Amino acid sequence: MQFKAQQIAALTGGTVHGDADAAVSKLAKIEEGEPGSITFLSNPLYAPHIYTTRATIAIVNNDFAPEQALPHTLTLVRVPDARQAFAQLLDAYNQFRFSKTGVDASAVVSASAKIGNNVYIGPLAVISDHAVIGDNTRIHAHVFVGEAARIGQNTLLHSGVRVYHDCVIGNDCIVQAGAIIGGDGFGFQPNSANNYQKVPHIGNVVLEDHVEIGANTTIDRATLGSTIIRRGAKLDNLIQIAHNVEIGENTVIAAQTGVAGSTKIGANCMIGGQVGIVGHLTIGNGAKIAAQSGIGSNIAENEIMQGSPAFGIGDYKRSYVLFRGLPALSDKVKAIEKHLNLNGK
């Protein structure tokens, strides 16, 4: 599918400088641009490439001022924020690319399931009894949607996703391949025979609107009630969210993080990769946690933490300077000891 420069400008709120009828059909990095492609420039480090790119259209910031002649074949679309505008185009491209509708012949859809308009259900997908699928939602190959699960409108479930019984996914969500929504929590109780007896988890998982879940991330169902991922939260790949956890609006969590049961994470938090958070904690709104930190106590609003066990980032940095100086300090101590020993003789 082709787009002309004037159409791209209309979509991104930009203005065309060059050929308004210049047409493109693919996206490219600026250093790899070729005829018929569109690219963007927002990072000044990549500015030299705009003078040699073979792309047909480049999205640039309004304040971009060329320092030399641009290729005569290049049309510019000037926008307030080139990176954001290009992200809009990527989203439009994905919408077009995954715009299939209909139910594949190999899919299994229960007669009691409720399927909305313009839905796509891919090969070997399973939609169980009394499940609800909203309008314009796309469910790709090998997805399993359990009994009475509800999927909202304009949501995308990539291949191999599992949404177990009674779980709820809102509108405009994306769940990447292999993610598991609503598996049992890790709950066991020692019995009189000193064996571990499984604690049933009869709650569910709720993903509110505009949530994205990364590939192979697992979100456990609640023991009672719900494990909740609030509106706009973004979870990376390979994350473990335990039973009854709540994650606040617009919080972002990087890969390989684990959050133990019943911890409450506030809104607008930023959590780095490989962070471990113990259970039954409260993490305040706007908190930031550096990668590989271990969190064993509550965190106040807007606090920044680092380390394992974690503490305030200012103290951590000062401590790290001292830690880095320990080898030199050790050498000095040894030199003093040697000097004292020699003088003692």
Taking only the tens place, the pLDDT of each residue in 104-126 is 999 999 999 999 999 999 999 99
Would the pLDDT of 342 be above 80? no
Would the pLDDT of 345 be above 80? no
Amino acid found at 74: L
Torsion sign across C-alpha atoms 210, 214, 216, 221: negative
Taking only the tens place, the pLDDT of each residue in 143-159 is 999 999 999 999 999 99
Tokens for 59, please give them: 């999205």
Q: Residue 91: pLDDT band by 50, 70, 90 thresholds? A: confident
pLDDT at 93: 78
Tokens for 86, please give them: 């290009």
In whole numbers, what is the pLDDT of the chain averaged over residues?
94
Which CATH homologous superfamily contains domain 3-97? MurE/MurF, N-terminal domain (3.40.1390.10)
Q: Residue 99: pLDDT band by 50, 70, 90 thresholds? A: confident
- CB within 8 A of 166, min separation 6: which ones? 146, 147, 148, 149, 182, 204, 221
Fold of 102-317: UDP N-Acetylglucosamine Acyltransferase; domain 1 (2.160.10)
Domain boundaries, the chain: 3-97, 102-317
Q: Residue 168: pLDDT band by 50, 70, 90 thresholds? A: very high
Residue 88 CB neighbour total at 10 angstroms: 16
Q: Residue 320: pLDDT band by 50, 70, 90 thresholds? A: confident
Note the maximum CA span of the chain: 96
Taking only the tens place, the pLDDT of each residue in 260-287 is 999 999 999 999 999 999 999 999 999 9
Would the pLDDT of 136 be above 90? yes
Amino acid found at 337: E
Q: Yes or no: say if 293 and 303 are a contact pair by the CB < 8 Å rule.
A: no
Spatial separation of the C-alpha atoms in residues 212 and 155, rounded to whole Å: 10
Lowest mean pLDDT among 112-116, 216-220, 264-268, 306-310: 306-310
pLDDT at 158: 97
pLDDT at 344: 60
Q: Residue 235: pLDDT band by 50, 70, 90 thresholds? A: very high
State which H helix or E strand residue 8 sits in: helix 5-12
Residue 272 backbone phi and psi in degrees, to 5: -75, 180
Q: Residue 343: pLDDT band by 50, 70, 90 thresholds? A: low
Q: Residue 334: pLDDT band by 50, 70, 90 thresholds? A: confident
Residue 217 backbone phi and psi in degrees, to 5: -80, 145
Average pLDDT over residues 217-221: 98
Taking only the tens place, the pLDDT of each residue in 24-80 is 999 999 999 999 999 999 999 999 999 999 999 999 999 999 999 999 999 999 999
DSSP per-residue codes, 40-70:
EE-SGGGGGGGGT---SEEEEETT---SSPP
For the chain, the residue count is 345
Torsion sign across C-alpha atoms 238, 275, 236, 152: positive
DSSP per-residue codes, 252-285:
EE-TT-EE-TT-EE-TT-EE-TT-EE-SS-EE-T
243 is an active site residue = yes
Catalytic residue among 49, 201, 243, 280: 243
**Strands lying side by side in the sheet with 288-289:** 102-103, 120-121, 138-139, 156-157, 174-175, 212-213, 234-235, 252-253, 270-271, 288-289, 304-307, 310-312
